[in-house]
Amino acid sequence: MTRLIPYLTVHDGAAAVAFYAAAFGARETGERYDDDGKIGHVTLAIAGDVFYLSDEYHDYGAYAPATLGHSTAAIVLGVDDVDAAYATAVAAGATVDREPSDSGDERRGWLVDPFGHRWALYTPKG
């Protein structure tokens, strides 16, 4: 079985875990590994889909978008109601990139989380 799991690096792991919980309903699953006040690894789940997160560890090549000055990838998250999910994420601290709009067979909006990662939220039409 093959499974793709995004692994996000952030500049403030504890704040990121709190943001993803407030913005997207993420919850921690499994054990959190801390290292001198930094998150070495945590597994988060949004509606059953898993992603990993850690603080920066330059010795291991793990750099956050805040350090690089930009994000190098985007996360695409399917939701039941893109407008509601988008508003919740913005209220939790995300920055508006592109407001939700209809595009082909879906409605999609783009935002940037407080840690520099780009997210596209979408809902299929009909």
| Res 1: pLDDT | 74
> Is the full-model pTM beyond 0.85?
yes
| Res 47: pLDDT | 94
Does 2 reside within a domain?
no
Q: Provide the domain limits for residue 40.
A: 7-124
User: What's 106's domain CATH number?
Assistant: 3.10.180.10
Does 1 reside within a domain?
no
* Domain tally, the chain: 1
Contacts of 71 (CB under 8 A, 6+ apart): 65, 112, 116, 117, 118
Q: Which amino acid is at 69?
A: G
| Res 30: pLDDT | 85
Beta-sheet pairing, 38-46 with 27-35: antiparallel
| Res 2: pLDDT | 82
Instruction: Give, for all 126 residues of the chain, the pLDDT tens digit.
Output: 788 999 999 999 999 999 999 999 999 998 899 988 899 999 999 999 999 999 999 999 999 999 999 998 999 999 999 999 999 999 999 999 999 999 999 999 999 999 999 999 999 997
Residue closest to 107 by CA, chosen among 74, 84, 90: 84
Does 100 reside within a domain?
yes
